[in-house]
Amino acid sequence: MKGIVFSEFIELVEDKFGIEIADTIIEKSNLPNQGAYTQVGTYDHKEMLTLVTHLSKETGIEVPVLVQAFGEHLLDRFTQMYPQFFTEVNSCFAFLDTIENKVHVEVKKLYPDAELPTFDSSIHSDSHMELLYQSKRPFSALAYGLILGSAKYYGEQISVEMEDMSTDNQTRVCFQLRKEAVNTLE
């Protein structure tokens, strides 16, 4: 997992829970690098699982809720760091449809060793999209947060249903996204 993800996670923890909590979870996690992550470095995803587990214990917030919130935060940060991916399209569905064949292609140019999940998208109508997330790592809650963050970025009301089809070796989740009708009658 790329260091940018870790550094953004630590930044989120510091912003939302304080530097003391960030230091506590780093210390309790007994990390090989003591929590010093470079943005371009590659680190074991299990370190993230350890960090978020300790954050859950410190805050009383369930791990999936924390990971989803991190996904929303990460999407917001990506809009700031890589605005070209977001301004070239005008909706959440259009953006999500570019992840595999555009965003991940560019990520691989920057980070050739990145092990990215796959996103197979199918837009069924203006109001319904299916997104299949697959990864060797158990971060479907992060993908869920990224989806919610993109809906927020584009100012859209989207409901999301998850169907977990994971196996022991593969995280596989099908997201059904539906745009909610906006009531314009006042």
Domain range annotation of the chain: 3-61, 92-179
Q: How many Cα neighbours within 13 Å face the side chain of 125? A: 6
CA distance 13 to 23: 10
Q: Tell me what pLDDT residue 141 has.
A: 95
Rounded distance, CA 117 to CA 133, Å? 7
Integer-rounded Cα Rg, in Å, for the chain is: 17
158-164, strands of its sheet edge to edge: 118-125, 128-135, 171-179, 158-164
Q: Supply the pTM of this predicted model.
A: 0.90
**CATH architecture, range 92-179:** Alpha-Beta Complex (3.90)
Between CA 13 and CA 37 the distance in angstroms is 14
Enclosing H/E stretch for 11: helix 3-17
- Averaged pLDDT in 10-residue chunks for the chain of 186 residues: 91 96 96 85 92 97 96 95 92 95 87 88 96 94 96 96 92 95 60
The rounded distance, in Å, linking the Cα atoms of 38 and 67 is: 21
